[in-house]
């Protein structure tokens, strides 16, 4: 049994580094494109840099996740994370009457570690339910699909069948996933979706979109403010009236609309974990678009295709895009969610059974739940159809129960 996945921990928060170097072929390609068609939005830039089929970060880079990659995610830190998510699914599914068959859909599954841990836990806790499950992975990168297949099915297994038994299908788009009763999960997926950035013109106070253009001196990439309104200006509404700088991810909004409409129509629930703000109204300035390479912050306009690009998730915005027939819970801090799911008890059991790994287990636990690490910046958010709302006053979704403070 693998207990500890990484010995060197660093989530996507670190120190800033810049590097001066020659332009890569990919950077030259982007410069040529901008010369031909004009400055591009940050959303277009993110889409191109992360997902270009021949040179993109997720489509071509060998090592993305883990201590030898650019950043580490919760499922890669410890199996305990996936075990808690599996228990959440089983628990909430049971409350809805264990509707069968059940589809498990994961968005942006990275190395497939979270789904592998979910299936292992389901097999251990409710083995009789295995024949009722099917798995659907929504992944845009063909390279990542292969990594996930190796993790879930093994090299020598039957194609498209997981080691635990359920069939696994891969889809490039969410719209291709078959309709039916579904539990959706996504960890650090929404932060990879493109954002548009806007800042206020200091004189007119109008919103100006931040674009990527080229510098005349050396043809390097640089940020500029659009002098006219762009199409994306239509996404800015009165919710941002009090703010000075904002980031909006319409793509995230469409994904949330689709997930919540499916849950309303066919039943199920969604569990989303990511870093971000509970409310954009907490800040006047949101400026979180950034790049990571080798666990360090770096210049997003340098090393294109070699560094991950990411932005904080705006949970207020996700909530606003949830169907009116669905109910959202959270966001709650990761520490609250995992603690209510019993991660501390699980860690103690693992330590007793594997005393030689006790220190490592404790370190992973601390990393996942300590407020200085991933415990408070990372949040959990869930969506249920309003048809099951009657259960919730008495049985709040586990992990989202907010204890009343003692007077
Ligand atoms: N969930 C994983 C990995 C997060 S990295 C974990 O927690 O370890 C982001 C993942 O989302 C990668 O697998 C990337 O290829 C995928 N991805 C990014 N943009 C996507 C899109 N638009 N559609 C589908 N998958 C996407």
User: How would DSSP label each residue in 293-305?
Assistant: ETTEEE-TTSSTT
pLDDT more than 90, % of the chain: 83
Instruction: Report the 10 Å Cβ neighbour count for 210.
Output: 19
Ligand 1 centroid from CA 107, angstroms = 7
User: Has residue 3 got a pLDDT over 60?
Assistant: no
Q: Lowest mean pLDDT: which of 83-87, 276-280, 306-310, 325-329? A: 276-280
Select from 347, 301, 365, 286 the least CA-distant residue to 45.
301
Instruction: Please enumerate in sequence order all residues whose Cβ is within 8 A of that of 108, keeping only pairs 6 or more positions apart, or say none.
Output: 138, 139, 186, 187, 188, 189, 192
Ligand 1 centroid from CA 131, angstroms = 27
Q: Where are the domains of the chain?
A: 16-193+254-391
CB of 85 closer than 6 angstroms to any ligand 1 atom: no
Protein residue closest via CA to atom 13 of ligand 1: 110
CB of 144 closer than 6 angstroms to any ligand 1 atom: yes
- Decide if 270 contacts 187 (C-beta within 8 A): no
User: Has residue 277 got a pLDDT over 90?
Assistant: no
Select from 32, 10, 118 the least CA-distant residue to 363.
10
**Between the CA of residue 278 and those of 197, 317, 379, what are the distances in Å?**
19, 10, 8
4: helix, strand or coil: strand
Burial 137-165 (b: 16+ CB within 10 A, else e): bbbbbebbbebbbebbbeeeeeeeebebe
- Decide if 184 contacts 102 (C-beta within 8 A): no
Residue 113 — pLDDT band, cuts 50, 70, 90? Answer: very high
Q: List strand residue ranges (DSSP E) for 99-160, in order.
A: 102-107, 133-138
Ligand 1 centroid from CA 190, angstroms = 8
Ligand 1 centroid from CA 84, angstroms = 20
Identify which of 56, 189, 250 to mutate to test ligand 1's pocket (most ligand atoms within 8 A of the CB): 189
Residue 279 — pLDDT band, cuts 50, 70, 90? Answer: low
User: Has residue 212 got a pLDDT over 80?
Assistant: yes
**Between the CA of residue 402 and those of 35, 70, 221, 296, 330, what are the distances in Å?**
53, 34, 46, 35, 10
- Decide if 275 contacts 390 (C-beta within 8 A): no
Q: Determine phi and psi for 279, rounding to 5 degrees.
A: -150, 130
- Decide if 196 contacts 116 (C-beta within 8 A): no
| Predicted confidence (pLDDT) per residue in 343-356, tens digit | 999 999 999 999 99
CB of 106 closer than 6 angstroms to any ligand 1 atom: no
30 is written with which tokens?
């982007």
For residues 283 and 279, the model is more confident at: 283
pLDDT more than 70, % of the chain: 92
Instruction: Give the pLDDT confidence score for residue 41 in this predicted structure.
Output: 98
Instruction: Give the pLDDT confidence score for residue 19 in this predicted structure.
Output: 47
Helices 79-95, 358-369: inter-axial angle, 10-degree rounding: 60
| Predicted confidence (pLDDT) per residue in 20-50, tens digit | 557 899 999 999 999 999 999 999 999 999 9
Please give the average per-residue pLDDT across 143-167, as a whole number: 90
Ligand 1 centroid from CA 3, angstroms = 24
273: helix, strand or coil: strand
**Between the CA of residue 386 and those of 66, 133, 268, 391, what are the distances in Å?**
38, 24, 11, 10
Give CA–CA dist 261/255, Å, rounded: 10
Please give the average per-residue pLDDT across 77-94, as a whole number: 97
- Decide if 252 contacts 322 (C-beta within 8 A): no
User: Has residue 137 got a pLDDT over 60?
Assistant: yes
Q: What is the pTM of this model?
A: 0.94
CATH topology of domain 16-193+254-391: Rossmann fold (3.40.50)
Q: Lowest mean pLDDT: which of 114-128, 170-184, 283-297? A: 283-297
Instruction: Give the pLDDT confidence score for residue 11 in this predicted structure.
Output: 57
Residue 106 — pLDDT band, cuts 50, 70, 90? Answer: very high
Residue 407 — pLDDT band, cuts 50, 70, 90? Answer: very low
Which segments of 271-384 does DSSP mark as H helices, in order?
A: 315-320, 334-340, 343-353, 358-369
Identify which of 61, 140, 194 to mutate to test ligand 1's pocket (most ligand atoms within 8 A of the CB): 140
């Amino acid at each position: 049994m693998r207990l500890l996945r990484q010995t060197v921990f660093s989530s996507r928060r670190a120190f800033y580094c810049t590097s001066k170097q020659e332009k890569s072929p990919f950077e030259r390609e982007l410069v040529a494109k901008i010369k031909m068609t004009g400055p591009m939005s940050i959303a277009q830039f993110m889409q191109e840099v992360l997902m270009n089929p021949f040179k993109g970060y997720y489509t071509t880079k060998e090592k993305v996740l883990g201590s030898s990659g650019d950043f580490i995610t919760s499922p890669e830190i410890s199996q305990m994370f996936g075990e808690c998510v599996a228990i959440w699914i089983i628990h909430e599914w049971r409350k809805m009457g264990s509707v069968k068959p059940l589809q498990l859909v994961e968005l942006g599954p990275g190395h497939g570690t979270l789904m592998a841990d979910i299936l292992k836990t389901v097999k251990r806790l409710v083995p009789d339910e295995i024949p009722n499950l099917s798995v659907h992975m929504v992944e845009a990168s063909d390279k990542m699909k292969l990594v996930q297949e190796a993790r879930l099915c093994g090299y020598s297994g039957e194609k498209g069948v997981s080691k635990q038994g359920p069939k696994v299908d891969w889809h490039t788009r969410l719209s291709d996933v078959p309709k039916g009763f579904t539990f959706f999960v996504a960890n650090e997926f929404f932060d990879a979706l493109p954002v548009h950035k806007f800042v206020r013109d200091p004189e007119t106070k109008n919103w100006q979109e931040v674009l990527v253009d080229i510098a005349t001196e050396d043809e390097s990439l640089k940020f500029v403010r659009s002098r006219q309104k762009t199409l994306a200006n239509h996404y800015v509404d009165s919710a941002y009236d009090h703010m000075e700088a904002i980031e909006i991810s319409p793509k995230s909004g469409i994904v949330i609309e689709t997930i919540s409409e499916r849950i309303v129509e066919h039943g199920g629930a969604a569990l989303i974990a990511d870093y971000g703000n509970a409310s954009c109204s907490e800040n006047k300035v949101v400026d979180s678009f950034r790049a990571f390479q080798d666990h360090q912050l770096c210049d997003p306009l340098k090393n294109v295709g070699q560094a991950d690009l990411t932005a904080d998730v705006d949970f207020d915005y996700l909530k606003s895009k949830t169907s009116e027939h669905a109910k959202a819970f959270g966001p709650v801090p990761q520490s609250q969610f995992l603690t209510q799911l019993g991660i501390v008890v699980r860690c103690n059991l693992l330590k007793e059974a594997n005393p030689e790994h006790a220190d490592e287990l404790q370190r992973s636990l601390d990393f996942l739940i300590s407020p200085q690490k991933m415990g408070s910046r990372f949040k959990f958010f869930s969506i249920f159809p309003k048809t099951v709302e009657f259960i919730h006053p008495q049985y709040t979704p586990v992990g989202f129960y907010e204890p009343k403070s003692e007077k």
